[in-house]
Structure 1
Amino acid sequence: MSLKNEWHHRKVAEGQAKACWVCFKPSTSVLITPDNKDFFYICPGHLKDRGFAIPDADEAAAVEERKKKEALDREIEAVKKEYAEKQKEKEKKRKEKEKNKDKDKKKEDKKEEEEEDKNDEKERDEKIKSLEQKDPEKTDDGPRIFNLHKNFYQQRVERLRNIEQAKRNRERLKNPSAFPSVPSGDL
């Protein structure tokens, strides 16, 4: 029986938490093989331990890329909100100025306001471009695919072998032809 050293991290509901395979504390994290042959509950802290499991390189890179994109999107949203607030403030100021100024100056003011708006939009676009080029700080949520350390992997393989062997032994004991017959000769 071969068991590939590839384990997928899954979460279960709080009510389904069971003891961690290592420390026996209740855990909702499960490591399971892709073919569902084996699984065990594990604390998220153990998954971060390099002596226990190593994240798959491709998966770790994908998770990091996803985190960078999310952080960048958050920063871009913040810039857009800031720009919208500035626009609202300018509109309020313009309305106040319109009340105070003559009609002749309104045309000149409108041109100036349009130029200010264009400058603000350019400024906003430049900020967004600079954020896209900047590397956001790393966050650690963790990958979903792991390879166990060789000792822990060997323990899982041994456990499966023992289960399979016990199953074969039970089947042999149920079969009456596996036992020798009672001797029929004289003593």
Structure 2
Amino acid sequence: MCTCWRHHGVIRIGWPILALGLLWAPAASAEEEGHPVAEPEQPVTEWTLSHDDTRTTLEPQPAGSAADGQREDGGVAPPESGFLTREQIESIIRRHSSGLRYCYERELLEEPYLEGRITVRWNIELDGRVSAATAIENTMGSKAVESCLLSEVGRMRFDRPNGGRVNVTYPFTFTTSP
């Protein structure tokens, strides 16, 4: 049986802990920081989930480089102007929390003090499938946990995004302390 609870926007699932909480937080605007403001050339289509010690936030970011609709292999890329709510993304990640936690617990048996964050970036395609899952940060240093997380993320199936592909960046934080 799993003991699950919420504390400061972090979902804690038994022991050890996998932080998956999400909170909305507006990004500081360039205008507020004294920088000139220019209209973005591309729509806001990428959601970056950033993390501090007590919360994970979901913030819109400018789309990637597929503005011309061409892929590197010469094919046509789907439009990158899709949208899913944070609740839609969060519910699927939660549904996979036992698999994500297993990735960590398996390696924790070999390294009892293993902790850290692995940030994964992936695309949610028009049919809801995950593509191009890559680790962009690994403070844990465990390639085995990273590889397992990428496999688990690849198995996720999201709702069909509205309007096109959705890019997600998500930090998975693991710790042994409550």
Shorter-chain TM-score range: under 0.3
By percentage of residues, which structure has more strand?
2
By percentage of residues, which structure has more helix?
1
In our comparison, the structure showing a higher alpha carbon Rg is 1
TM-score, length-scaled by structure 2: 0.21
